[in-house]
Amino acid sequence: MNARSFTDRDIHLALDGELPEDERAAYQAWLEANPDMKARSLRFAADNAALRGLFTGVLDEPVPARLTAVVKGDAPKRKGTPPWWRMAAAAALLVAGGLGGYLVGASGFGFGPDSDDRMAELAIAAHQTFAADKNRPVEVDGSDPAYLTGWLSKRTGLKLVAPDLSVNGFQLLGGRLVPAEGSTAALMLYADAQGNRISVYVTTGGSELSKGTYTLAGGGPEAVYWQEKGYGCAVVGTLPPAELRLVAKDAYKQLLAGAGLSQS
């Protein structure tokens, strides 16, 4: 039996977590055998995460009752209402649903991801976009860490340090600014002697303590994240899970110390 050929539609299904489980191995093999499609998948993932970050304030709002009533056919009929009104209302809901897989939970249409996942997804998207960039992965190189962190701190409003991960075998490549939820995040990239790259994504976070790990439904890099006291961090890479968690713990301790925060 010949393996089926995958298409752009399958990329979207994988990113939305809707690709059948028994097809995922073949799909990943197809991506590896088709660099152009793999690059497209990474671009789609980055676009989804960036859109979610850009529109998160709107997507978290409840859908107006008048729109859900129109979609369900419960709204009172108005004389002279153009036939395209109901279609426009439905389209508005579908557009909202298409941004990063969001569905309106309060209305009985589905559910939306929590803020921890959104931060982790944005961090993964930034990593996938820039860690693989061989020409210009960073805006400012890491030859002068004090200058780099001063530049990132000024533009993000965070008190930042560049974690020293040399004990873990990683050296600082540099950093850049990337999208966050309603703001801007700092992304610092590191590489080891074998060419493995990890990224440290830092942004303002939620007020409640949360921590965990996250990977996209279609597979790929893992994010180890923390959020507390208005400070959020995610360390992303494709290292073995135990190794990535150790690196992430070292990075997080240094970030908190640099920001004058105590670890919970």
- What pTM value is reported for the model? 0.59
- Span 61-86, average pLDDT: 55
pLDDT attached to residue 56: 53
| Sheet with 197-203: strands ordered across | 140-141, 171-179, 184-191, 197-203, 231-237, 222-228, 210-215
pLDDT higher than threshold 50 for residue 5: yes
Structure tokens at 225: 């994240």
DSSP secondary structure code for residue 168 in this structure:
G
pLDDT of 127-160, one tens digit each?
998 998 888 899 999 999 999 999 999 999 999 9
For residue 65, give the nearest of 32, 28, 104 by alpha carbon: 104
Integer Cα distance of 188 and 140 in angstroms: 10
pLDDT higher than threshold 80 for residue 20: yes
- Span 61-70, average pLDDT: 63
pLDDT higher than threshold 80 for residue 237: yes
Query: What is the band of 170 on the pLDDT scale with cuts at 50, 70, 90?
Result: very high
Integer Cα distance of 243 and 19 in angstroms: 29
- Span 26-53, average pLDDT: 77
pLDDT attached to residue 140: 94
pLDDT attached to residue 198: 97
Query: What is the band of 81 on the pLDDT scale with cuts at 50, 70, 90?
Result: very low
Share of the chain above pLDDT 70, in %: 70
pLDDT higher than threshold 90 for residue 223: yes
Q: What are all long-range contacts of 136-139, with beta carbons under 8 Å and residues at least 24 apart?
A: 137/173, 137/174, 137/176, 137/189, 137/197, 138/173, 138/174, 138/175, 138/176, 138/189, 139/174, 139/175, 139/176, 139/177
Cβ neighbours of 79 (radius 10 Å): 4
Comparing 157-161, 206-210, 218-222, 226-230, the range with the smallest average pLDDT is 206-210
pLDDT attached to residue 206: 64
- Span 194-217, average pLDDT: 87
- Span 184-203, average pLDDT: 95
Q: What is the mean pLDDT of the chain?
A: 78
- Span 78-107, average pLDDT: 41
Q: Helix, strand, or coil here: 132? A: coil
pLDDT attached to residue 13: 85
pLDDT attached to residue 80: 47
One CATH from 1.20.1600.10, 2.40.50.140, 3.90.1170.50, 3.30.200.100 for 115-259: 3.30.200.100
Q: Helix, strand, or coil here: 166? A: helix
Count of residues in the chain: 264
- Span 157-165, average pLDDT: 94
- Domain coordinates in residue numbering, the chain: 1-112, 115-259
**pLDDT: which is higher, 112 or 220:** 220
pLDDT higher than threshold 60 for residue 3: yes
pLDDT attached to residue 141: 93
User: Are 154 and 223 spatial neighbours (Cβ–Cβ below 8 Å)?
Assistant: no
